[in-house]
Amino acid sequence: MNDQNFDNKNTSFSYLESRPLHIGASVPRLDAYEKVTGKEKYAADYYGENLVWAGVKRAGVPHAVLRGIDFSSAVKVPGIVRVLTHEDITGSNRQGVIRKDQPVLVNDKARHCGDAIALVLADNKESLKEALDLIVCDFEPLPGVFDSEQGLRNGAALVHEDNADGNRLLKGEIKTGSGSDAYKECDVIVEACFQTQSQEHAYLETEAGWARLLANGKLEIVCSTQTPFRDRMEVAEALGLDPTLVRIIAPYPGGAFGGKDGVTVQTLLGLAALHSGGRPVKMWWNREESFVSGTKRHAALMYYQLGAKADGTLHFLDVRLYFDTGPYDHLGGVVLTLALEHAGGPYRIPNAQLTGWAVYTNNPIGGAFRGFGVTQVTAAVEQVMDMLAQKLGMDPVKLRLKNATKRGDRSCVGKTMVCSNGLVECLETLSKHDLWKQADDWKSSAGPFKRRGVGIAAAMQGSGYGPVVPDYANAKVELTSDGKIRVYCGVVDMGQGNASTNLQIAGSILGQESGQMELVLPDTDRTLPSGSASASRCTYTFGNALIGAAETLKQRILQRAADLFMASGPHEMALIPGSVRHLPTGREVPLFRLVKFFQDSERIAVHHFRAPVAADNIGVSPEIKLHGLPHTLFSFGACLAAVEVDELTGAAEVKRFLAVSDCGKVLNPQIYQQQIHGGIAQGLGYALSEKLEVEKGRILTTGFSTYIIPTASDVPEIDSIAVEIYEPTGPFGLKGVGEIATNGPLPAVANAVADALGIRVFESPLTAERILEAFASNGRQESSI
């Protein structure tokens, strides 16, 4: 690794059995081979000779003025290379995507327990730990803000004194139709308040990276990230460097789910490498540090009123959302805005008053997490839909079908839905499934002290960046000098499988099998800027760019081969694995020979794609528009949870789960199902067991023995059905599948518990304690049916 000529590798698949790469086929993921043998090198796997270990002294207090840092004892520990503080940073010392409000190293005050105070460089892990323990911070404690509603009140402690809006990061307000006045025109109104918790991403690979400063001044950072191109700019600005001298290399992350959408270790590593005397530097947060310092799904408080006509036609929605964004703008305003856009679910609701606040607090940082605000509001709206169905005496599927948006309808923010919309097909497929049709039989066969319920939920998920921030990708495909096809991936594959799908797309267009393909993972020096791995956009946006690049290269190859064969044109030529064939005569030229007739400049094709945006002006403020509202492309889904509750313990167990989703055409059924299954498992953890205990800004659950993510025994058998509606703007008709599945489990489970017990638990996760308490306070007899 200390080789000055170190280069990000090209992955070849020629040693494997070559496979055809057809669109629509379940081609096993090409990254799986190296992962299953332990050969794949993650950011956490970089070491090297003469390595320096870098570690961070964390604040450990939620809100306090930093009066001084005493590291005089720490520097005396044998093996310590340097101790760095904010005084060693020559750049802005600020990070963030929209508001740059997070210090790399604290210079004024700590705003949450995970704030970085000092950076220690050591020869080994043992010295590093000892030195970190010896650093003493002189803090003057400040009163904190630990509740988003309270944070908005007059007199609340201020997290950022320089923010003109107090603790308000963003307020969003949307009114459609006659807004709240439509209340009077309803025959039925239901009202509820829901509270959803912070959720930990809990990726298996904690935040990790490796960096070095080359003699020519270039800073190379290998890191576990979703956003290499954005990281480069953030690192450069925070450290005062020329961005062209920063190179970010992004191996496959060991999971990310939104928690690596932005800087984690990158700037700290860069700073360390600037002071390590040319030695390579490694940083790898331990699990506790990942819990304390990493971002979380925003905890949310959501007040809902939903009104309908007597026949079940939705007429009015009033929503107030309070999102706890913690101390820094880790996309909190964007998360809130997406929540507002989806607050009414995938339904036609002509009159709406939607208001939301993203609020600064001294709790852990709220940030991006698969679903991105949609998960919270879906939990709320899908439960009030069931409450409404009950009040109307209507079947919950029929109520949803009656109000489901179709293409051409307006969403609850007044946006005309122009993309393909398979919501009705999803709901109808669900209603014809045995798990729904035979629900009554299943429920009535519960054993002693058990009660069973079946709940459903529908969802939609917008994809991409919205109307202002350009959602683009630049694909690059190369015919290598030895006749292989090399795909340069600009978007990170954090596990969702897009790198392999990219090979499938390029391979299918260029007629090549896996053995002829090569892959380059994202690298700011080798691949082209293509945005973040987020927002269900990866294969939609990059795939569209890749089709353009692969088609260009294909035409170039066919034309050159036609010229060689003196054929009448490229239409007489066809690409086959490893060769080009002249169709009228059957003669072939292998690609490794044909490439000799290419100049280097011709061997590479690039193509830029920018995702379409909403054309309609729905009258929202420029600020809300900047934060991404409205979207134009949506995926849809409906799901069902069959739940058994133990009357004695309150424990709820999901016995079966059904998901029906419209994510457009499926390019690879196996990868599609992986995304659906994984989203459901995370959603079930959110529904039942993942309870981040936070007491006055301190996380009490900092490991997997106290923060319980689902195991193989906790996730039921899942039925997943794709409703494949062709999306005309998508690559081969595809829409995003990354997030939709994670939205339905919580409301479906909550609706199933309500169905089983006749009571509703309004706060998630639905732990045994909460269910038992609700059950007991409701009175056993009263709730008996």
Partner 1 sequence: MKIAFRLNGKQIHIDAAPDRRVVDVLREDLGMTGTKESCAAGDCGACTILVDGESRLSCLMLAVQLEDRDITTIEGIAEGEQLHPVQNAFVEHGAVQCGFCTPGMVLASVDLLNRNSAPSRDQIREGLSGNLCRCTGYQMIVDAVEAAAEELRDRQES
**Is residue 678 a contact point for partner 1 (CB under 8 A)?**
yes
Residues 708-737 that bind partner 1 (CB under 8 A): 709-713, 715, 717-718
**Is residue 49 a contact point for partner 1 (CB under 8 A)?**
no
Single out the segment in contact with partner 1 by CB under 8 A; choices: 129-137, 225-233, 373-381, 490-498. 490-498
> Is 624 or 652 the residue whose CB approaches partner 1 more closely?
652
Residue 119 backbone dihedrals phi, psi, to 5 degrees: -120, 125
What is Dmax (Cα atoms) for the chain? 89
> Is 88 or 719 the residue whose CB approaches partner 1 more closely?
719
Collapsing DSSP states into helix, strand and coil, what is residue 562? helix
**Is residue 418 a contact point for partner 1 (CB under 8 A)?**
no
Report whether 370 contacts 742 (CB < 8 A). Answer: yes
Single out the segment in contact with partner 1 by CB under 8 A; choices: 4-12, 31-39, 187-195, 600-608. 31-39
Residue 492: name the closest of 527, 517, 461, 525 by CA.
527
- Which residue in 67, 78, 138, 204 binds partner 1 (CB under 8 A)? 204
Token pair of 785, please?
Answer: 């049916």
Report the alpha-carbon angle 207-208-211, nearest 5. Answer: 145
* Residue 619 buriedness (CB in 10 A; 0-12 / 13-18 / 19+): exposed
Residue 382: name the closest of 121, 15, 683, 710 by CA.
683
**Is residue 1 a contact point for partner 1 (CB under 8 A)?**
no
User: Distance of alpha carbon 573 from its chain centroid, rounded?
Assistant: 42
**Is residue 40 a contact point for partner 1 (CB under 8 A)?**
yes
* Residue 440 buriedness (CB in 10 A; 0-12 / 13-18 / 19+): exposed
CA–CA separation, 355 and 413 (whole Å):
11
Residues 115-174 that bind partner 1 (CB under 8 A): none
- Which residue in 6, 42, 183, 442 binds partner 1 (CB under 8 A)? 42
Token pair of 306, please?
Answer: 């939903």
**Is residue 703 a contact point for partner 1 (CB under 8 A)?**
yes
Token pair of 92, please?
Answer: 């802005």
Report whether 667 contacts 505 (CB < 8 A). Answer: yes
Report the alpha-carbon angle 131-288-293, nearest 5. Answer: 85
**Is residue 688 a contact point for partner 1 (CB under 8 A)?**
no
Residue 326: name the closest of 62, 687, 107, 64 by CA.
62
Single out the segment in contact with partner 1 by CB under 8 A; choices: 228-236, 317-325, 434-442, 673-681. 673-681
- Which residue in 206, 375, 383, 534 binds partner 1 (CB under 8 A)? 206
Token pair of 47, please?
Answer: 């070491």
- Which residue in 238, 550, 629, 681 binds partner 1 (CB under 8 A)? 681
Shortest separation between residue 292's beta carbon and partner 1, angstroms: 14
> Is 240 or 703 the residue whose CB approaches partner 1 more closely?
703
**Is residue 677 a contact point for partner 1 (CB under 8 A)?**
yes
> Is 245 or 709 the residue whose CB approaches partner 1 more closely?
709
> Is 49 or 440 the residue whose CB approaches partner 1 more closely?
49
Q: Token match 């988003």: residue?
A: 148
Shortest separation between residue 17's beta carbon and partner 1, angstroms: 10
In order of 171, 303, 415, 471, 633, the CA distances from 620 in angstroms are 12, 21, 11, 20, 18
Single out the segment in contact with partner 1 by CB under 8 A; choices: 164-172, 252-260, 310-318, 753-761. 252-260
CA–CA separation, 268 and 238 (whole Å):
10
**Is residue 257 a contact point for partner 1 (CB under 8 A)?**
yes
- Which residue in 2, 9, 14, 26 binds partner 1 (CB under 8 A)? 26
Which residues does 355 contact at the CB level (< 8 Å), separation at least 6? 171, 172, 173, 174, 319, 320, 321
Report whether 271 contacts 104 (CB < 8 A). Answer: yes
Collapsing DSSP states into helix, strand and coil, what is residue 777? helix
> Is 589 or 734 the residue whose CB approaches partner 1 more closely?
734
**Is residue 286 a contact point for partner 1 (CB under 8 A)?**
yes
> Is 176 or 682 the residue whose CB approaches partner 1 more closely?
682
- Which residue in 99, 171, 287, 603 binds partner 1 (CB under 8 A)? 287
Q: Is 732 left (phi over 0), alpha (psi -120 to 50) or beta?
A: left
Single out the segment in contact with partner 1 by CB under 8 A; choices: 55-63, 204-212, 329-337, 552-560. 204-212
Report the alpha-carbon angle 140-143-148, nearest 5. Answer: 140
Single out the segment in contact with partner 1 by CB under 8 A; choices: 255-263, 449-457, 616-624, 756-764. 255-263
Report whether 144 contacts 157 (CB < 8 A). Answer: yes
**Is residue 35 a contact point for partner 1 (CB under 8 A)?**
yes
Single out the segment in contact with partner 1 by CB under 8 A; choices: 404-412, 492-500, 512-520, 579-587. 492-500
- Which residue in 116, 248, 374, 680 binds partner 1 (CB under 8 A)? 680
- Which residue in 253, 371, 414, 637 binds partner 1 (CB under 8 A)? 253
Shortest separation between residue 469's beta carbon and partner 1, angstroms: 27
Report whether 353 contacts 371 (CB < 8 A). Answer: no
What letter would DSSP give residue 129? H
**Is residue 29 a contact point for partner 1 (CB under 8 A)?**
yes
Shortest separation between residue 281's beta carbon and partner 1, angstroms: 15
- Which residue in 704, 726, 776, 779 binds partner 1 (CB under 8 A)? 704
> Is 597 or 704 the residue whose CB approaches partner 1 more closely?
704
Shortest separation between residue 672's beta carbon and partner 1, angstroms: 10
Angle between the 745-757 and 374-392 helix axes, to the nearest 10 degrees? 30
Shortest separation between residue 47's beta carbon and partner 1, angstroms: 6
# binding residues, partner 1 (CB under 8 A): 57
Token pair of 325, please?
Answer: 């964004």
**Is residue 254 a contact point for partner 1 (CB under 8 A)?**
yes
Report whether 367 contacts 335 (CB < 8 A). Answer: yes
Q: Which residues contribute to the site for partner 1 (CB under 8 A)?
A: 15, 26, 28-29, 31-33, 35-42, 44-45, 47, 201-206, 252-257, 286-287, 494-497, 670-671, 673-674, 677-682, 703-705, 709-713, 715, 717-718
